[in-house]
Structures are given as structure tokens and as C-alpha cells.
Amino acid sequence: MSPDESMTSPAEGRRRFRDGLVTPTAGWSAGYAQANLIAVPRDYAFDLMLFAQRNPKPCPVLDVLEAGQYAGPLLVDGDIRTDIPAYRIYVDGEPVTETTDATEYWTDDLVAFLIGCSFSFEAALLDSGISLRHIEEDVNVPMYRTDRPCRSAGRISGPLVVSMRPLPPEQVADAVRITSRYPSVHGAPVHVGDPAGLGIADLSAPDYGDPVSIRPGEIPVFWACGVTPQAAVMQSRPPLAIGHAPGHMLITDLRDSELVVP
Amino acid sequence: MSPDESMTSPAEGRRRFRDGLVTPTAGWSAGYAQANLIAVPRDYAFDLMLFAQRNPKPCPVLDVLEAGQYAGPLLVDGDIRTDIPAYRIYVDGEPVTETTDATEYWTDDLVAFLIGCSFSFEAALLDSGISLRHIEEDVNVPMYRTDRPCRSAGRISGPLVVSMRPLPPEQVADAVRITSRYPSVHGAPVHVGDPAGLGIADLSAPDYGDPVSIRPGEIPVFWACGVTPQAAVMQSRPPLAIGHAPGHMLITDLRDSELVVP
């Protein structure tokens, strides 16, 4: 991430990714919300929407593009099939490939869910002087599949996926307070401390993203993660699904400031 | 409403309605949330769910009963087909009848949406010393179809419906502050003053509920209303839909206190 990228407008960022640039999007287009993608066939869309409604912490829906729609208020003049740096394609729940352009896999039957991303509250944490290890170490945030099942809906079920940020004990309360003001981007942590309580055996082996170092005395703090619907797709096995590659998000036209609750 | 009814448990209230009692539910089971009902065929469920997601102020979804489900966490041991005092049946968008038992109209293909009701924040207003005219006058709250369209979703579109409570000028700010803490039961007002701004020509002729008197100097304050999905059904004309009769709500096992945001 360079200052240039943080100043890039969402439309310009999307254009660069459409033109083929592949990079994690952390730090791009400062002040604008980024979104997770999960697209499923229309026949599965109600079940997934209900899954999101029942699991609002991991699956806060920012908007939905109906079948055959490729742009919308969150990506004006955009194209959801091309404007994300990298996509994961799932067939019958199995990830079959990663691609920078999902057009050849996309069908007019797919409904695309845009789900809030914790990058929005990370800016607020940094502004409050809370340093984030994965940003210090310039890697993707570590994410873990937990043993906690989400509330299922129709044919969709799956485990809660969490992201983890280690914090010094004196900053945990502030981090809770700050992130709880962002309910549409995962909100307050779901778990503070003891990874075993979530069924996570080894923090150094995340299921998605990269490991980060944890200093003596630091507490691992876990937030619900927008990769949860991709874990649900893997468990529930719809015939086709398209997600973003973790860390490679859609940059939206929505301002982070619109996501804060008073 | 008698003190007896305010002390009735949700399960007991539902049992009485199941047994045939017909009455508006305002004031019943104090401290428990009441819910609007709209049930549509599964084929329409995604569109309606998306309509709700796009219009969260009038359509805050508390829970959804999937096709073939008649009970759930909001009505433990209940039956959504019988536990509401009165139902409205819509065929092709036309209200064809009102009934106290929807069983003969219900099909296993119907998905039932339970939507937050302003009765939850009314208790908080009353507790803060804000008197509500429709309760003083022992009538149903007045509700109006506005000229403001909701954001449509698939085949579902329709106007915003609002409820109106007249307040003295010095209480408007308090009412805003208090109700904004209840986003899942319509939250803060959508409009304060001038009914013409919502396309409402005559406050004394509500589209649903009853008119209330407005005293000199009082300001009409408008909140988004859970009858909105029924107006959408009338405009969008699914083959079958079942709603509650306005003011005759489902009494749920959810506590009002669980709906407050900090």
C-alpha cells in the first residue's frame, strides 16, 4: 500500500483491478468501505439471505445485486464480475480455481451479496492509536474457521469464521468500544482471549490469510469475518458460487462514515 | 387493555388468540416485543427479504419462518397460522378476507416474515413521560400510505407506510432520541411535521388504524411502519400473501430490552 493507493478513488481502484492489477486491497481508497463478495444461484439466494439475517455479525449485508445485475449503488458504473482483484470459484462447494476476471464463470442466474468488511473499522482503530499487527507486518489479517456453527437457513449452514488481532490488555476495551460502533462491518468482537474456546488449536496456522506475531502479554481478539459465507458455501455445496479471494475486496462507493452508529 | 393483559405471558396470550379471542394487542404482555406478519410463497421470499434489507426502517426483520415451519425462537411452542388475533388474506394482491385462523389458507410453501413493531418503543416513550394520543384515546395508531416509494427488489415494490403520533414541540427531540435506540423496531422518525411532504392530504383519514385528535401547536411525527410490506403485497400482487390485521400483532417471546442498542 502506498499513499497513492490510499488516495485512489473507488472507481479508479475498480478500474485498475478490472484492467488486471492483482493486489490485496487493505489501505486502498481511504475512507471508503470495502466489501466481501459471495454470489450464488438465484435458487439459493433466499437461503443465503436468511443465513445472513440470522448471522448478522459475520454476514452484515451491505447490498445485493439481483440476478443479471452487475452494477449498483455500491459500485456505480462498475462490474462485479471484473472489478475485484481476485476471485475464488466454487463448484459443488469445492474451490476449483482463482481468477482475476470472473466473467467466464458468471451466469445471469447469480445473485451477488456484498458483505461488510472489517477494513472499515480498522481505520477507526488506527485513528485511535491502536496499532494492528497485520498492518505493521504488511500481511493479510489471519482468519480461522471456528468450531462454532452459525445458525443455519434452508440448505445453507457452516461454521463461524473469525479474524484475529492481538492487542495489549490496556487496549482491548477501547477496541471493543470503537468497533461496536460499526455493526454493519462485524461490530464488536465475538470472543476475547483463549483461542481454544473457539476450537482454534494453533494461532500460527490460520485457515485464511497470514499468521502474525503475538507479543508476550497480548490478548488475541476475535471478530466475526466476512469469509464466513465462503465457508458456508464449502459446507453447503451449491452447484456454483463465486467469492473474492480473501483480502482482495471490492472497493465500494460507500463511505466508512456512513457505517458508524451514534 | 387491562392490567391482566399486560401481565399475560406471550405463550398465554398466543394461546388465547389461538382459542379465538379477537382484540388489538397494544399493551399485552408488557416488556415483550410484538411483530408484524407477512407471509408469501417461497418463490417470492428472496424478493421480499431483499425488499426488507433495502428498506430496513419500515421492514426490520426479527426472524423468518421457513416454508413448512410454524413455530420458532420468537414463538416457542406456537403456531403462526393461529396465534395472531386476526389475519388478512391477499390473493393476487387483493385483500379477500379477514380471519381469526389462517390455517385453511396457509400452504406449506409460505415463508413467514416477522417484522418489528413500534409497540416496543412506545413502552419506552411512555416510561419517559411522553404520552401517546392513540393510547390516551384507546384506539389503533393512525397509519398512512405515503407518496414515497420504497427501494424495490425484484418483483416487490410499494410505498412507504408510516404511523403518526402527535407530540408537543418540547417532546419531539426526546422522542427522536429514545426511538433511535430501537433500530429493529423502526427506529427514529422518518419525518417530523408537514404531512404534505409525505403526500398525506388529510391526517383525519388514515389508510389503516384510527384517526386521533391533534391539539393546537402539536407536531405530527411520522415513523416507518410494519404495514409497509402489506402495501407492497397489494402493489406487487403475489398469488397469495397472509398478513396480520393492523394492530392485531403476534406477541413474541423476545424481550423489548433485547432490541435496545447502547
Question: Residue range B142-147: average pLDDT?
Answer: 96
| pLDDT of A75 above 60 | yes
Task: Write the pLDDT tens digit of every residue in B208-252.
Answer: 999 999 999 999 999 999 999 999 999 999 999 999 998 899 999
Which residue of chain B has the CA closest to A152? B66
| pLDDT of A262 above 70 | no
Tell me the nearest-neighbour CA distance from A187 into chain B, angstroms. 12
| pLDDT of B1 above 80 | no
A39 touches B at CB < 8 Å: no
B2 pLDDT band (50/70/90 cuts)? low
Task: Write the pLDDT tens digit of every residue in A103-142.
Answer: 999 999 999 999 999 988 998 999 999 999 999 998 889 9
Determine whether the interchain pair A42/B42 forms a contact, defined as Cβ–Cβ distance below 8 Å: no
Determine whether the interchain pair B111/A46 forms a contact, defined as Cβ–Cβ distance below 8 Å: yes
- Top residue of A53, A155, A157 to mutate, by most chain B CBs within 10 Å, is A53
Cα B63 off chain centre by: 14
Which residues share a beta bridge with A145? A161
- State the Cα–Cα distance between residues A104 and A84, nearest whole angstrom: 14
* Per-residue pLDDT, B40: 98
* Per-residue pLDDT, B262: 65
Q: Which residues of A touch B66 (CB under 8 A)?
A: 50, 153-154
Share of chain B above pLDDT 90, in %: 88
Best CA proximity match to B85, nearest among B246, B253, B255, B211: B246
| pLDDT of B3 above 80 | no
Question: Residue range A68-93: average pLDDT?
Answer: 96
Cα A68 off chain centre by: 23
Residue numbers of A between 137 and 156 with CB closer than 8 Å to B: 153-154
B260 touches A at CB < 8 Å: no
- State the Cα–Cα distance between residues A100 and A14, nearest whole angstrom: 12
Of the partner residues A46, A63, A64, the one whose CB lies closest to the CB of residue B45: A46
| Contact of B120 with B253, CB cutoff 8 Å | no
Matching residue, cell 410463497: B41
Which residue of chain A has the CA closest to B66? A154
The CA–CA distances, whole Å, from B109 to A41, B66, B72, B119 equal 20, 9, 17, 30
Of the partner residues A42, A50, A262, the one whose CB lies closest to the CB of residue B49: A50
| pLDDT of B152 above 80 | yes
- State the Cα–Cα distance between residues B100 and B111, nearest whole angstrom: 19
Of the partner residues A42, A46, A63, the one whose CB lies closest to the CB of residue B49: A46
Task: Write the pLDDT tens digit of every residue in B53-104.
Answer: 999 999 999 999 999 999 999 999 999 999 999 999 999 999 999 999 999 9
Which residues share a beta bridge with B89? B97, B242
B110 touches A at CB < 8 Å: no
Q: Which residues of A touch B46 (CB under 8 A)?
A: 42, 45-46, 49, 111
A46 touches B at CB < 8 Å: yes
User: What angle, 0 to 180 degrees and rounded to 10, lies between the N-to-C axes of helices A169-179 and A119-127?
Assistant: 130
Which residue of chain A has the CA closest to B69? A154
Which residue of chain A has the CA closest to B67? A154
The CA–CA distances, whole Å, from B250 to A145, B66, B87, B105, B144 equal 37, 17, 10, 18, 21
Of the partner residues B46, B261, B262, the one whose CB lies closest to the CB of residue A46: B46
Query: Number of CB pairs < 8 Å for A and B?
Result: 36
- Exposed e or buried b for every residue in A10-23, given b needs 16+ CB within 10 A? beebbbbbbeeeee
DSSP characters over chain B? --HHHHH--HHHHHHHHHTT-----TTSSTTEEEEEEEEEEHHHHHHHHHHHHH-TTT--EEEEEPTT---BTTBTT--TTTSSS-EEEEETTEEEEEES--TTT--TTEEEEEEE-THHHHHHHHHTT---HHHHTTSPPPEEEEEEEPPPBTTB--EEEEEEEEE-HHHHHHHHHHHTT-GGGT-S-SEES-GGGGT---TTS-SBS------TT-EEEEEE-TTHHHHHHHHH--SEEEEEPTT-PEEEEEEGGGG---
* Per-residue pLDDT, A174: 93
A229 pLDDT band (50/70/90 cuts)? very high
Best CA proximity match to B165, nearest among B185, B145, B136: B136
Q: Which residues of B touch A42 (CB under 8 A)?
A: 46
B59 touches A at CB < 8 Å: no
Cell digits of residue B47? 424478493
* Per-residue pLDDT, A184: 86
Of the partner residues A53, A111, A183, the one whose CB lies closest to the CB of residue B64: A53
A261 touches B at CB < 8 Å: yes
Q: Which residues of A touch B45 (CB under 8 A)?
A: 46
A3 pLDDT band (50/70/90 cuts)? low
| pLDDT of B184 above 90 | no
Determine whether the interchain pair B111/A153 forms a contact, defined as Cβ–Cβ distance below 8 Å: no
* Per-residue pLDDT, B100: 96
Q: Which residues of A touch B259 (CB under 8 A)?
A: none
A4 pLDDT band (50/70/90 cuts)? confident
Q: Domains in chain A, start-ordered, CATH in brackets?
A: 119-224 (3.30.2040.10)
HEC-encoded secondary structure of chain A: CCHHHHHCCHHHHHHHHHCCCCCCCCCCCCCEEEEEEEEEEHHHHHHHHHHHHHCCCCCCEEEEECCCCCCECCECCCCCCCCCCCEEEEECCEEEEEECCCCCCCCCCEEEEEEECCHHHHHHHHHCCCCCHHHHCCCCCCEEEEEEECCCECCECCEEEEEEEEECHHHHHHHHHHHCCCHHHCCCCCEECCHHHHCCCCCCCCCECCCCCCCCCCEEEEEECCCHHHHHHHHHCCCEEEEECCCCCEEEEEEHHHHCCC
